[in-house]
A = this chain, B = another copy of it.
Amino acid sequence: MAKFYGIGTGPGASDLLTVRGKRVLETVDCLYTPEPKKGGKSLALQIVSPYLRADLVIKQRHFPMVNDWKQKRIAWDQIAEEIINDVKEGLNVAFITLGDPMVYSTYSYLLERIMGTIETETVPGISSFCQISNSLQVPLVIDEESYAVLPATADELIIRQALTHFSTVVLMKVSIALPKILGLLREHDLTEKTVMVSDASMEGSRIQWDVLEVEEDTKLSYFTTMIVYKNRNLTARKSETSL
Protein backbone atom coordinates (compact mmCIF):
# COMPACT_ATOMS: atom_id res chain seq x y z
CA MET A 1 0.00 0.00 0.00
CA ALA A 2 1.24 3.49 -0.78
CA LYS A 3 2.51 5.53 2.15
CA PHE A 4 3.62 8.99 3.27
CA TYR A 5 7.05 9.35 4.88
CA GLY A 6 8.38 12.32 6.83
CA ILE A 7 12.17 12.23 6.90
CA GLY A 8 14.58 14.19 9.06
CA THR A 9 17.61 15.12 6.94
CA GLY A 10 19.83 15.85 9.95
CA PRO A 11 21.72 19.13 10.44
CA GLY A 12 23.35 19.67 7.04
CA ALA A 13 25.95 17.10 5.97
CA SER A 14 24.47 14.51 3.57
CA ASP A 15 26.05 11.59 5.39
CA LEU A 16 24.37 12.48 8.68
CA LEU A 17 21.10 11.16 7.24
CA THR A 18 20.09 7.77 8.66
CA VAL A 19 20.41 4.60 6.61
CA ARG A 20 16.61 4.27 6.84
CA GLY A 21 16.06 7.81 5.55
CA LYS A 22 18.40 7.13 2.63
CA ARG A 23 16.61 3.88 1.73
CA VAL A 24 13.16 5.50 1.83
CA LEU A 25 14.35 8.38 -0.39
CA GLU A 26 15.78 5.88 -2.88
CA THR A 27 12.42 4.13 -3.21
CA VAL A 28 9.67 6.80 -3.13
CA ASP A 29 7.92 8.05 -6.26
CA CYS A 30 7.55 11.66 -5.25
CA LEU A 31 9.33 14.06 -2.90
CA TYR A 32 7.86 17.23 -1.39
CA THR A 33 10.31 19.86 -0.17
CA PRO A 34 9.96 23.35 1.26
CA GLU A 35 10.65 25.96 -1.43
CA PRO A 36 13.61 28.24 -0.72
CA LYS A 37 13.01 31.98 -0.45
CA LYS A 38 14.91 33.18 -3.48
CA GLY A 39 14.62 30.36 -5.99
CA GLY A 40 17.34 27.71 -6.26
CA LYS A 41 17.49 24.49 -4.27
CA SER A 42 16.09 24.19 -0.75
CA LEU A 43 18.65 23.34 1.93
CA ALA A 44 16.86 20.08 2.80
CA LEU A 45 16.94 19.13 -0.88
CA GLN A 46 20.66 19.89 -1.15
CA ILE A 47 21.33 17.61 1.81
CA VAL A 48 19.56 14.58 0.34
CA SER A 49 20.50 15.20 -3.32
CA PRO A 50 23.20 12.45 -3.42
CA TYR A 51 20.50 9.87 -2.75
CA LEU A 52 17.80 10.88 -5.27
CA ARG A 53 17.01 8.92 -8.44
CA ALA A 54 17.11 10.86 -11.69
CA ASP A 55 13.42 10.06 -12.36
CA LEU A 56 12.17 11.15 -8.92
CA VAL A 57 9.32 13.69 -9.11
CA ILE A 58 10.24 16.67 -6.91
CA LYS A 59 7.50 19.05 -5.80
CA GLN A 60 8.81 22.20 -4.15
CA ARG A 61 6.05 23.89 -2.20
CA HIS A 62 5.97 27.29 -0.51
CA PHE A 63 5.64 27.34 3.29
CA PRO A 64 4.99 30.94 4.42
CA MET A 65 7.42 31.95 7.23
CA VAL A 66 5.24 34.80 8.48
CA ASN A 67 3.32 35.63 11.65
CA ASP A 68 0.01 35.37 9.82
CA TRP A 69 -1.30 32.01 11.05
CA LYS A 70 -4.31 32.10 8.72
CA GLN A 71 -2.00 32.30 5.71
CA LYS A 72 0.14 29.44 7.08
CA ARG A 73 -2.90 27.24 7.71
CA ILE A 74 -4.18 27.73 4.17
CA ALA A 75 -0.77 26.67 2.77
CA TRP A 76 -0.57 23.60 5.06
CA ASP A 77 -4.13 22.57 4.18
CA GLN A 78 -3.36 22.76 0.46
CA ILE A 79 -0.05 20.87 0.65
CA ALA A 80 -1.56 18.20 2.93
CA GLU A 81 -4.46 17.70 0.51
CA GLU A 82 -2.08 17.37 -2.42
CA ILE A 83 0.01 14.76 -0.57
CA ILE A 84 -3.08 12.79 0.48
CA ASN A 85 -4.29 12.74 -3.14
CA ASP A 86 -0.91 11.54 -4.41
CA VAL A 87 -0.82 8.68 -1.89
CA LYS A 88 -4.45 7.72 -2.57
CA GLU A 89 -3.52 7.48 -6.24
CA GLY A 90 -0.88 4.90 -5.28
CA LEU A 91 2.29 6.98 -5.06
CA ASN A 92 4.81 6.59 -2.24
CA VAL A 93 5.50 10.14 -1.10
CA ALA A 94 8.22 11.62 1.13
CA PHE A 95 8.58 15.01 2.76
CA ILE A 96 12.00 16.17 4.00
CA THR A 97 12.69 18.45 6.93
CA LEU A 98 15.92 19.73 8.50
CA GLY A 99 17.18 18.13 11.71
CA ASP A 100 14.56 15.93 13.37
CA PRO A 101 10.89 15.97 12.25
CA MET A 102 9.60 16.05 15.84
CA VAL A 103 11.77 19.02 16.93
CA TYR A 104 10.54 22.48 15.87
CA SER A 105 9.47 21.41 12.38
CA THR A 106 6.65 22.64 10.16
CA TYR A 107 6.28 18.95 9.34
CA SER A 108 4.25 18.63 12.57
CA TYR A 109 1.49 20.77 11.05
CA LEU A 110 1.46 18.77 7.82
CA LEU A 111 1.39 15.46 9.71
CA GLU A 112 -1.50 16.66 11.89
CA ARG A 113 -3.56 17.17 8.73
CA ILE A 114 -2.52 13.89 7.10
CA MET A 115 -2.65 11.36 9.98
CA GLY A 116 -5.66 9.10 9.90
CA THR A 117 -6.36 9.63 6.18
CA ILE A 118 -3.43 7.63 4.77
CA GLU A 119 -0.60 5.50 6.18
CA THR A 120 2.24 7.62 7.61
CA GLU A 121 5.73 6.93 8.92
CA THR A 122 8.25 9.38 10.38
CA VAL A 123 12.01 8.80 10.27
CA PRO A 124 14.13 10.61 12.88
CA GLY A 125 17.13 12.84 12.13
CA ILE A 126 20.11 14.24 14.01
CA SER A 127 19.34 17.61 15.62
CA SER A 128 21.83 20.42 14.96
CA PHE A 129 22.76 20.87 18.63
CA CYS A 130 23.50 17.17 18.88
CA GLN A 131 25.87 17.38 15.91
CA ILE A 132 27.50 20.47 17.48
CA SER A 133 28.30 18.56 20.68
CA ASN A 134 29.69 15.66 18.66
CA SER A 135 31.82 17.96 16.49
CA LEU A 136 33.19 19.77 19.53
CA GLN A 137 33.48 16.45 21.35
CA VAL A 138 32.02 18.09 24.46
CA PRO A 139 29.42 15.85 26.15
CA LEU A 140 25.91 17.29 26.45
CA VAL A 141 25.22 15.25 29.59
CA ILE A 142 26.85 12.57 31.71
CA ASP A 143 25.71 10.68 34.83
CA GLU A 144 23.02 12.60 36.75
CA GLU A 145 23.14 15.74 34.60
CA SER A 146 20.13 17.13 32.73
CA TYR A 147 19.75 19.31 29.65
CA ALA A 148 17.14 21.70 28.34
CA VAL A 149 16.37 22.77 24.78
CA LEU A 150 14.68 26.12 24.23
CA PRO A 151 14.07 28.51 21.35
CA ALA A 152 15.73 31.89 21.94
CA THR A 153 12.25 33.41 21.66
CA ALA A 154 11.01 31.51 24.73
CA ASP A 155 9.80 33.46 27.75
CA GLU A 156 12.64 34.91 29.88
CA LEU A 157 11.26 33.14 32.95
CA ILE A 158 11.79 29.69 31.49
CA ILE A 159 15.23 30.56 30.08
CA ARG A 160 16.22 31.76 33.57
CA GLN A 161 14.87 28.51 35.10
CA ALA A 162 16.89 26.50 32.60
CA LEU A 163 20.13 28.45 33.16
CA THR A 164 19.70 28.07 36.92
CA HIS A 165 18.73 24.41 37.23
CA PHE A 166 20.13 22.53 34.22
CA SER A 167 23.74 21.44 33.62
CA THR A 168 23.49 22.08 29.88
CA VAL A 169 21.18 24.49 28.08
CA VAL A 170 20.65 24.55 24.32
CA LEU A 171 19.33 27.82 22.85
CA MET A 172 18.07 27.45 19.28
CA LYS A 173 17.83 30.17 16.61
CA VAL A 174 19.55 32.81 18.75
CA SER A 175 19.80 35.24 15.81
CA ILE A 176 16.17 36.23 16.41
CA ALA A 177 16.75 37.35 20.02
CA LEU A 178 20.50 37.88 20.44
CA PRO A 179 20.45 40.91 22.82
CA LYS A 180 18.01 39.14 25.18
CA ILE A 181 20.09 35.95 25.23
CA LEU A 182 23.41 37.75 25.74
CA GLY A 183 21.84 39.71 28.59
CA LEU A 184 20.60 36.54 30.31
CA LEU A 185 23.98 34.82 29.90
CA ARG A 186 25.79 37.83 31.43
CA GLU A 187 23.23 37.96 34.25
CA HIS A 188 24.00 34.30 35.09
CA ASP A 189 27.75 34.77 34.56
CA LEU A 190 27.74 32.06 31.89
CA THR A 191 29.29 33.74 28.83
CA GLU A 192 32.54 31.78 29.33
CA LYS A 193 30.60 28.53 29.44
CA THR A 194 28.77 29.17 26.16
CA VAL A 195 29.68 28.10 22.64
CA MET A 196 27.91 29.64 19.62
CA VAL A 197 27.83 27.72 16.34
CA SER A 198 26.35 28.81 13.00
CA ASP A 199 25.46 26.38 10.20
CA ALA A 200 26.69 23.26 12.02
CA SER A 201 28.04 20.52 9.69
CA MET A 202 27.43 22.73 6.63
CA GLU A 203 29.95 24.51 4.44
CA GLY A 204 31.03 27.75 6.12
CA SER A 205 30.22 26.46 9.62
CA ARG A 206 31.47 28.96 12.22
CA ILE A 207 32.23 28.59 15.91
CA GLN A 208 32.62 31.15 18.71
CA TRP A 209 34.06 29.82 21.97
CA ASP A 210 33.02 32.09 24.86
CA VAL A 211 30.35 34.61 23.81
CA LEU A 212 31.60 37.44 26.07
CA GLU A 213 32.79 39.44 23.08
CA VAL A 214 29.79 38.90 20.80
CA GLU A 215 28.19 42.27 19.93
CA GLU A 216 24.42 42.52 20.37
CA ASP A 217 23.92 43.73 16.79
CA THR A 218 25.99 40.93 15.19
CA LYS A 219 24.32 39.59 12.03
CA LEU A 220 24.02 35.84 12.54
CA SER A 221 22.87 33.01 10.30
CA TYR A 222 19.30 31.84 10.97
CA PHE A 223 20.80 28.47 11.95
CA THR A 224 22.78 29.70 14.94
CA THR A 225 22.69 27.73 18.16
CA MET A 226 24.24 28.40 21.56
CA ILE A 227 25.07 25.63 24.00
CA VAL A 228 25.70 26.54 27.63
CA TYR A 229 27.89 23.81 29.16
CA LYS A 230 27.88 24.72 32.84
CA ASN A 231 29.92 21.69 33.93
CA ARG A 232 32.57 21.60 31.20
CA ASN A 233 35.97 23.24 30.93
CA LEU A 234 35.65 24.85 27.51
CA THR A 235 39.01 26.60 27.70
CA ALA A 236 40.76 23.22 27.67
CA ARG A 237 38.66 21.94 24.78
CA LYS A 238 39.04 25.10 22.69
CA SER A 239 42.71 24.43 22.08
CA GLU A 240 42.15 20.80 21.07
CA THR A 241 39.15 21.01 18.76
CA SER A 242 38.18 22.38 15.40
CA LEU A 243 34.82 21.99 13.67
**A23 sits at the interface (CB 8 A):** yes
Assembly CA distance A206 to B135 (angstroms): 33
Q: Assess the A142–B23 pair: CB atoms within 8 A.
A: no
**A80 sits at the interface (CB 8 A):** no
CB neighbors of B among A130-144 (8 A): 130-131, 133-135, 137-144
Q: Mask for A67-103, Cβ within 8 A of B = 1, else 0?
A: 0000000000000000000000000000000001111
Q: Mask for A156-200, Cβ within 8 A of B = 1, else 0?
A: 011001100110000000000000000000000000000000000
Known: A16-B124, A146-B149, A148-B146. A137 touches B115 (CB 8 A): yes
- Give the contacting residue for A16; candidates B18, B115, B139; CB below 8 A: B18
**A66 sits at the interface (CB 8 A):** no
- Give the contacting residue for A161; candidates B102, B116, B125, B165; CB below 8 A: B165
**A10 sits at the interface (CB 8 A):** yes
Q: Mask for A100-130, Cβ within 8 A of B = 1, else 0?
A: 1111110011010001100010111111001
CB neighbors of B among A142-156 (8 A): 142-151, 153-155
Which residues of the other chain, B, contact A153 by a CB distance below 8 angstroms? 144
Assembly CA distance A137 to B101 (angstroms): 9
Q: Assess the B140–A103 pair: CB atoms within 8 A.
A: yes
Known: A100-B130, A150-B146, A153-B144. A13 touches B20 (CB 8 A): yes
Assembly CA distance A70 to B141 (angstroms): 21
Q: Assess the A144–B154 pair: CB atoms within 8 A.
A: yes
Nearest B-chain residue to A137, judged by Cβ: B122
**A14 sits at the interface (CB 8 A):** yes
Known: A134-B101, A142-B104. A116 touches B19 (CB 8 A): no
A sample of 21 cross-chain residue pairs with beta-carbon separation below 8 angstroms, ordered by A number, consists of A16-B19, A18-B18, A18-B19, A102-B140, A102-B141, A103-B140, A103-B141, A104-B141, A111-B137, A111-B139, A116-B240, A120-B137, A122-B135, A126-B126, A144-B154, A144-B155, A146-B150, A146-B162, A148-B148, A148-B162, A149-B149
